């Protein structure tokens, strides 16, 4: 079976979906000849032409807003926002417009739109390139929020996103784009939304994460194994829809949970996970749920990001503290 990294998996998903369905088109900044700043769209314009692979003006609100209109015309747009941090300049077209369009039209219209956006720290990016703002979109119902952590899921979840009749925000972990290859089959397959993945099974504690933080949790679990601690790692894969069943059953099994994310602590999605577990599992928990997150300061200069982002040491410390209880 072919092996691909996340960039190649995304490119493969886009190519196959554009091949399968002539309504699928890609638009955004530099997605044409350059193939995107991370090369996720390499080769698409040569293969499918400039009408379906479109370098747009540098304007996020109209990339997203025009995608809504394109969808109403019967196209299936896959829009790229070059970095999720720049979604702020199109925020009103995501939640308030895309997310609300089915409702505000009383079901007459729906928006089959996928917005792809790389994000995340750890690659020494300039300002606004790294911000993990995924939780902001959880507060705009109507948008599905997809956070793949590995090549297989990246392809399967992207195919699912493109085929979903409703808008999907697909956040790509740029730090993991090229860290390694793993098995990604040729040909279409989907990974369903709302199905968390137990990427490592342990007995004493569950580490809950999504996107690049899953990789951090896997490193932590390996270190903990050396110390004789058996940790599970649960990859939520999608924040909306949230797989409540797997989250609750897995944490109930171990009785302990640490949630890890790159977004600032306060009102991050970890708060949602923690509150959900409190409500659902209070008597099954052996210790309070602990969150490991970025600090409540704006994303700093790259020279400071290692202090800002959740580190292996902070995850290990949180696990040890949780196990003391």
Partner 1 sequence: MSKNSAVQKRHSVLAADGTRVAGVQSRMEEEFLLEALGWMMKSRLYDQRVIALQRQGQFGVYSPGMGQEASIIGSAMAVDPARDWMVPQYRELMATVHHGLPLEVISAQYLGKIGPARIPEGVKVLPSQVSIAAQLPHATGLAWGLRLRGEDAVVLTYIGEGGSSEGDFHEALNLAGVTQAPVVFFLQNNQWAISTSRRVQSATPSFSLRAAGYGFEGIEVDGNDVMAVYDVVVTAVERARAGGGPTLIEAVTYRMSFHNTTDNPSLYRDPAEYQEALRRDPIERVQKYLAGLGLWDQGREANLTDELRHEIDSALEAAVAAPLPGPSDLFDNIYAHPPERVLRQRAELLDGQV
240 touches partner 1 by CB under 8 A: yes
Q: Which of 37, 39, 62, 314 is the binder for partner 1 (CB under 8 A)?
A: 62
Count of residues of this chain found to bind partner 1 when the rule CB under 8 A is applied: 47
> Of 60-68, 114-122, 206-214, 300-308, which part binds partner 1 (CB under 8 A)?
60-68
Q: In this complex, which beta carbon is closest to partner 1, that of residue 61 or of residue 287?
A: 61
Q: Does residue 65 interact with partner 1 by CB under 8 A?
A: yes
DSSP line for 61-106: HHHHHHHHHHHHTT-EEEEE-SSGGGGGGGHHIIIIIITTHHHHTT
Site for partner 1 in 152-191 (CB under 8 A): 164-166
- Residue 82 has which token pair? 């070059």
How many Cα atoms are found within 13 Å in the side-chain-facing hemisphere of 83?
Answer: 17
CB 142 within 8 A of CB 98: yes
- Asked if 51 touches partner 1 (CB under 8 A), the answer is yes
Q: Smallest distance from the beta carbon of 107 to partner 1, in angstroms?
A: 4
CA 137 from centre of chain: 12
Of residues 8 and 160, the one with the C-beta less far from partner 1: 160
For partner 1, the closer CB: 105 or 182 = 105
DSSP character string of 290-310: EEEEE-SS----GGGHHHHS-
Task: Please report, as residue ranges, which positions from 97 to 126 form the binding site for partner 1 (by CB under 8 A).
Answer: 97, 102-110
Cβ pair 325, 205 in contact under 8 A: no
Three-state SS at 297? coil
Which stretch, 7-15, 28-36, 216-224, 239-247, contacts partner 1 (CB under 8 A)? 239-247
* Distance between CA atoms of residues 211 and 147, nearest Å: 5
Nearest-5° angle of CA 11, CA 43, CA 61? 70
Is 129 among the catalytic positions? yes
Could you list the residues that contact partner 1 (CB under 8 A)?
25, 51-52, 56-57, 59, 61-62, 64-75, 77, 92-93, 96-97, 102-110, 141-142, 144, 164-166, 194, 240-245
Which residues are marked as active site?
129
């Amino acid at each position: 079976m072919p092996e691909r990294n996340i960039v190649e998996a995304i490119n493969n998903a886009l190519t196959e979906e554009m091949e399968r369905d002539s309504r699928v088109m890609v638009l955004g900044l530099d997605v044409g000849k350059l193939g995107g700043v991370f090369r996720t769209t390499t080769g698409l314009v040569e293969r499918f032409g400039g009408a379906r692979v479109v370098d747009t003006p540098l304007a996020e609100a109209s990339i997203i807003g025009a995608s809504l209109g394109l969808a109403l015309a019967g196209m299936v747009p896959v829009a790229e926002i070059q970095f999720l941090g720049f979604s702020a300049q199109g925020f009103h077209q995501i939640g308030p417009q895309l997310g609300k369009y089915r409702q505000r039209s009383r079901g007459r219209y729906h928006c089959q739109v996928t917005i792809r956006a790389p994000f995340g720290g750890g690659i020494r990016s300039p300002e606004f390139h790294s911000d993990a703002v995924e939780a902001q979109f959880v507060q705009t119902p109507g948008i599905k929020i997809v956070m793949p952590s590995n090549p297989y899921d990246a392809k399967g979840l992207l195919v699912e996103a493109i085929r979903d009749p409703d808008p999907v925000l697909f956040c790509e972990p740029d730090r993991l784009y090229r860290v390694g290859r793993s098995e990604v089959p040729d040909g279409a397959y989907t990974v369903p939304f709302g199905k968390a993945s137990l990427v490592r099974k342990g007995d004493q504690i569950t580490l809950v994460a999504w996107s690049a933080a899953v990789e951090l949790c896997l490193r932590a679990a390996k270190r903990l194994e050396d110390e004789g601690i058996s940790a599970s790692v649960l990859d939520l894969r999608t924040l909306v829809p949230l797989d409540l069943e797997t989250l609750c059953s897995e944490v109930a099994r171990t009785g302990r949970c640490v949630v890890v994310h790159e977004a600032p602590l306060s009102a991050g999605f970890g708060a949602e996970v923690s509150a959900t577990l409190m409500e659902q599992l209070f008597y099954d928990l052996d210790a309070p749920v602990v969150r490991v997150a970025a600090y409540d300061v704006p994303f700093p200069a790259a020279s400071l990001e290692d202090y800002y982002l959740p580190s292996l040491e902070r995850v290990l410390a949180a696990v040890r503290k949780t196990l003391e209880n």
